[in-house]
Structure 1
């Protein structure tokens, strides 16, 4: 029953996927869509300034354990997305999800099954999941 939202989304994508049914179109649109997500995040930094990237090498103490790394390492991001940037990035992620789902549909892969498999792997391997 938990896969209902994924299945409904996959069914909707399958129903409305008209222009980009070719696997080549889907792959190229997916790549373009992912680039637009990246661009939206960059614009949040460079145009809006609601977030900042502050990247530097983190010194990891020799006695640090793998469990310590979660607290020692950061995402290098300061600030919080403003409502406008959040809206743009969410829309772009949605388009990426559309094309990912279209790829699943074209290859007869159930989106929920792929998500569940990855969840199970991450849950099993936990911090050892270096993908």
Structure 2
């Protein structure tokens, strides 16, 4: 059933993309949409202040420690929780980014659901050893 939702989403985007059919347009709009996601997150920190970034050097476990210690040690550096307004803006920008990602998949004749499943299988198979 979930693949039907992805296929419907991909088909709807294919039907709605009118102005930016060129791969060059899609690539630049995708990059621009990613920049807008980044900007929205930064604005949540700098304008709203609902979240803050407290970045410092990541602590790394010693060589004797196992990979579980690495997960406990690393930090996102993000503090706080998105307010409703910032969440709405970021969700909208991520939605735009998904639109152009899906447009890129359509132009290259790639199935977004298949890509998701391959990535999911890789994560399930390798787990923490994907090192991302």
User: In the comparison of the two structures, how many residue pairs are matched?
Assistant: 131
Alignment partner of 1:49 is 2:49: yes
Q: Residues 49-128 of structure 1 correspond to what in structure 2 (within 5 A)?
A: 49-62=49-62, 63-128=64-129
Partner residue of 1:19?
Answer: 19
| C-alpha distance after superposition, 1:74-106 (max 9, x if no partner) | 110000000000000000000000000000011
Determine helix, strand or coil for the equivalent of 2:52.
strand
Structure 1: where are the runs of 5+ without partners?
A: none
Cα distance in structure 2, aligned partners of 1:59 and 1:94: 34
Cα distance in structure 2, aligned partners of 1:15 and 1:58: 45
Give the aligned CA root-mean-square deviation in angstroms. Answer: 1.0
Cα distance in structure 1, aligned partners of 2:61 and 2:14: 51
Determine helix, strand or coil for the equivalent of 1:52.
strand
Cα distance in structure 1, aligned partners of 2:71 and 2:129: 12
TM-score by length of structure 2 reads 0.95
| C-alpha distance after superposition, 1:33-71 (max 9, x if no partner) | 000000000000000000000011133331431112212
Superposed displacement of residue 2, structure 1: 2.2
Regions of 4+ moved over 4 Å: none
TM-score by length of structure 1 reads 0.96
Cα distance in structure 2, aligned partners of 1:23 and 1:60: 42
Structure 2: where are the runs of 5+ without partners?
A: none
| C-alpha contact (below 8 Å) 2:59/2:74 kept by paired residues | no
